[in-house]
Each structure stands twice: as C-alpha cells, then as structure tokens.
Amino acid sequence: MLLVGPLLAIVLVAVFVVPTLDRTGGGGAIAWPILAVVLVIMVLAIAAGLLLGKRLVGDRIEVAVRSSGDKWHHARLTDIGDGRLRLERYFWQVRIPTGKKLELHVLSLGEDSGRHPRPRQWWSLNPQLTIVDLETDQGTFELAALPSHLRELRERLQEPASA
C-alpha cells in the first residue's frame, strides 16, 4: 500500500516520457541519462521512505476523535498497551499537539460497522476512515481511523504495556 504512489509515478514516466523520447528521435543525447537519473532518485526516495518512515512516525497511530455529537479533532494515540492509551489532540490538522494529554483505560473498542465520514466532512476527514466507538473510563468517544490502523490498535491494546 505504501508503494502505490511511487510505483504509479514510475509507470507514468514509462508511459508518457519514454514514447515521447522515441517520437522525437531519442530526445537527444542528454534525455536518456536524465531519465535514468530521475528513475534512480525515485527508487532511492522509496527506499529512504521505507527505512525512515517508522522512525519518524514512532509508535503513534493517527486518528480523528470526537465525543458523541461534538466536532471531530485530529489526534494521535501513543503509549498503547495493556488496555490503556494516551490521546493527544492536534491543533487542527497540523500535527502540533495541543491541550492536555488524556490517559485512557479502554473498556472496549467497537467492531467495524462500516460507518465512514459523511460527504460534508470530507474536507477535513479522509473518506476512507472507518468510525468505531471507543468506550473508556472517561466516557465514550467516536474514533475514525484507517482500517489497518484499527487492526493495529486492537492488537496493541491487548499487548502488555511497554516499559
């Protein structure tokens, strides 16, 4: 899933640039080396993204959260394990933590019921997010996250807390 964008770029270069170079008589002596350099840079960027991505993101899970009927807030979940997590809200979508961190004891994480953000919410919420109920010791929240992040959250909530 992570490679879809870069692979699409490589395909687009192959489909549009290479035939253009052939129609123009090979594009001159400089066009093919430039194309080769672009492709090498793209491959190196993919490799760097795969190697550094987890290190930059850390163990957090990106979500949107709201109390029932309230407005959505972008947030991250950290220190997940043993039925507990820490919720840190962001300042809008900029990923700058703001406000106090909520230490939550998770009572239950709802099953995937197929709920997604409404079209009028798509300006700030990814329409691919799945909405589930999160019951905690501090009340019930609605949590919107990618299905893969919800699976990871379920697994990590069952693990013993990290030291």
| Confidence label for 16 from pLDDT (cuts 50, 70 and 90) | low
pLDDT in tens, 115-149: 898 888 888 888 899 999 999 999 999 999 999 89
Does the pLDDT value for residue 3 go beyond 80? no
Does the pLDDT value for residue 68 go beyond 50? yes
Q: How many CB atoms lie within 10 A of CB 132?
A: 21
Does the pLDDT value for residue 1 go beyond 50? no
In this structure, what token pair is assigned to residue 127? 């329409």
Cα–Cα distance measured from residue 66 to residue 114, given in angstroms and rounded to the nearest whole number: 18
Does the pLDDT value for residue 47 go beyond 60? yes
Residue whose entry in the numeric block shows the structure tokens 């430039």 = 34
Q: Which of 151, 134, 153 is nearest to 143 (CA)?
A: 134
pLDDT in tens, 85-117: 999 888 776 677 788 888 999 999 988 888 898
Q: What is the DSSP string of the chain?
A: -TTHHHHHHHHHIIIIIHHHHHHTTTTHHHHHHHHHHHHHHHHHHHHHHHHHHHHHHTT-EEEEEEETTS--EEEEEEEEETTEEEEEEBSTTS--B-SPPEEEEEEEE---------GGGTTTS-TT-EEEEEEETTEEEEEEE-HHHHHHHHHHHHSPPP-
Model's pTM, two decimal places? 0.62
